[in-house]
Amino acid sequence: MEGAASAQALSRIGLAGLAVMGQNLALNIAEKGFPISVYNRTTSKVDETLDRAQREGQLPLIGQYNPRDFVLSIQRPRSVIILVKAGAPVDQTIAALSEHMEPGDTIIDGGNEWYENTERRITEANSKGLLYLGMGVSGGEEGARYGPSMMPGGSHEAYTNIRDILEKVAAQVEDGPCVTYIGEGGSGNFVKMVHNGIEYGDMQLISEAYDVLKNAGGLSNSELADIFAEWNRGELESFLVEITADIFNVKDELTGNGELVDKILDKTGMKGTGKWTVQQAAELSIAAPTIAASLDSRYMSGLKDEREEASEIFKKEGLKEEISSDINGSSVDKKRLIDDVRQALYASKICSYAQGMNLLKAKSGEKGWNLNLGEMARIWKGGCIIRAVFLDRIKKAYQRNPNLANLMVDPEFAREMVQRQAAWRRVVGLAVQKGISVPGMSASLQYFDTYRRSRLPANLVQAQRDYFGAHTYERIDLEGAYHTEWSKLARNARV
């Protein structure tokens, strides 16, 4: 039957790689009325997808069982999305498909790929006359099926070939679909990588809010569920806050006792995009302390056995895991703490997004990508993991001033930071007092405090560098570079 279907009419687009993300994206495309051919090396996955297409509304999806039939079943100029594991599997899939493709056809890699790999593949594709897009896709399995946020970078011509499909398939928000042409080269992958770095920061900050409310405020899971649900109706409205409220409500079905969240091992996994973000920030000399703190926290969580031993060692020395004896919140004004934590979370979040945006701006300058930061915020408003109402304010900040030095100095955000800083300091101070680690909130606060000061103690660091290494320094009152014989002058001063 598939053969007959493909003989009748060619598909509008193809998708290779039918793990859950691939299946869901293919079904989303078919459901939006675009006939699609699908292919997977393991043929059972093709059958599974065909079965779902029938069950989910007899969608116009055609299964193919070898690369040649798959490519030839798509109308010219062909566009093929590949959704396989990043790295070597992408190269293998491209090799298998491009053998049957013709100049003018397009390959779209929808995986979480390192942007330099995409740039290499663009060059290789061009040598065969093929067009190439590296497209970040965010929103997880649900997003892929019902509307993700997509970040395509590379050939503009390739983008225009499938723009109608992408705009229908993407999540829809009031100011358009959550997809736009990002820029040339590996810009789409880079933007998705930074999105994931911001996501690391967001998740860490939320987990710290939970830790403080639970361990300094003595709040139960059901109280936490209510608080996060309430927060999700205000300025913190976002996908991550919404799912956090849900998580606290889920009972442990295996034992029938309590909530599942308390039974989960406190050891975080990661795929690498957060690490890449922090490495890129370091390469570009961009401070990203909140994102770096979230990455460090994942590394520290991995030391579960060491942490348990350390906890015992310090207990023997008389130090409880939580330093304060009134840990259950007996001396804490719960209502005020909840409101303080809400404000601290919001202010910390602004810093995390500011760091991500600065990273995008710096890379865009280095590579000549000409990224539109307001548009990045707009396409993240729906479909993706960091989707939040707050992104609309970021979009507007960059519309007001496309050359904004830092999100924190946008007049609206600056006012909000100032309004929230007292609550923010109270939360970080309380956590420090009680021995609850809040690396993300602290990093955000230090970032804010460093950025807003017109004079830092860096003058002393410069003096030290000049003392031991003759690195020279500049003065605040005179032009030029200076070097001082510090040890000689210090000796004379002692005499």
Catalytic entry in 192, 275, 361, 363: 192
CB 161 within 8 A of CB 77: yes
Measured in whole angstroms, how far is the alpha carbon of residue 146 from the centre of its chain? Answer: 20
Q: Which pTM was predicted?
A: 0.91
Q: Show binding-site residues.
A: 17-22, 40-42, 84-86, 112, 138-140, 195-196, 200, 271, 298, 465, 471
pLDDT of residue 493: 85
Q: Could you read off the pLDDT of 153-184 as tens digits, one per residue?
A: 999 999 999 999 999 999 999 999 999 999 99
Backbone φ and ψ for 438, nearest 5 degrees, come out as -130, 65
pLDDT of residue 1: 40
Q: How many CB atoms lie within 10 A of CB 380?
A: 27
- Record the tokens describing residue 428, joined without a space: 């970080």
Catalytic entry in 31, 113, 119, 199: 199
- Statement: residue 325 has pLDDT above 50: no
Work out the mean pLDDT of the chain and round it to a whole number.
93
Q: Return all residues near 227 (Cβ < 8 A) that are at least 6 apart.
A: 213, 219, 338
Tell me if residue 480 falls in helix, strand or coil: coil
Beta-bridge partners for 136:
151
For residues 137-142, average pLDDT: 91
For residues 306-323, average pLDDT: 84
- Statement: residue 353 has pLDDT above 70: yes
In 3D, which of 65, 64, 4, 9 has the Cα closest to residue 34?
A: 9
Distances (CA, A) of 218 to 206, 289, 378: 17, 29, 38
Query: Amino acid identity, residue 392?
Result: D
Tokens 């997880």 belong to which residue? 140
Tokens 């975080």 belong to which residue? 268
Backbone φ and ψ for 330, nearest 5 degrees, come out as -65, -30
CA–CA separation, 39 and 37 (whole Å): 7
Q: Show binding-site residues for substrate.
A: 112, 138-140, 195-196, 200, 271, 298, 465, 471
For residues 71-87, average pLDDT: 95
Q: Show binding-site residues for NADP(+).
A: 17-22, 40-42, 84-86, 112
Tokens 């913190």 belong to which residue? 236
Task: Please report which confidence band the pLDDT of residue 2 belongs to, taking 50, 70 and 90 as the band edges.
Answer: very low
Tell me which H or E stretch contains 473.
strand 473-474
Q: Could you read off the pLDDT of 250-266 as tens digits, one per residue?
A: 999 999 899 999 999 99
Least confident among 24-28, 301-305, 330-334, 416-420: 330-334
Beta-bridge partners for 177:
172
pLDDT of residue 322: 62
Least confident among 113-122, 224-233, 380-389, 470-479: 380-389
Q: Could you read off the pLDDT of 356-394 as tens digits, one per residue?
A: 999 999 999 999 999 999 999 999 999 888 989 899 999
Tell me if residue 324 falls in helix, strand or coil: coil
Task: Please report which confidence band the pLDDT of residue 213 belongs to, taking 50, 70 and 90 as the band edges.
Answer: very high
| Known catalytic membership, residue 199 | yes
For residues 232-239, average pLDDT: 94
Ordered alpha helix ranges (H), 250-320: 273-283, 289-301, 304-316
pLDDT of residue 269: 80
| Known catalytic membership, residue 242 | no
Q: Could you read off the pLDDT of 81-133 as tens digits, one per residue?
A: 999 998 899 999 999 999 999 999 999 999 989 999 999 999 999 999 999 99
pLDDT of residue 323: 56
Q: Could you read off the pLDDT of 405-438 as tens digits, one per residue?
A: 999 999 999 999 999 999 999 999 999 999 999 9
pLDDT of residue 324: 52
**Angle 241-244-247 from CA coordinates, rounded to 5°:** 160
CB 183 within 8 A of CB 369: yes
Task: Please report which confidence band the pLDDT of residue 4 belongs to, taking 50, 70 and 90 as the band edges.
Answer: very low
Residue with the larger pLDDT of the pair 7 and 311 = 311
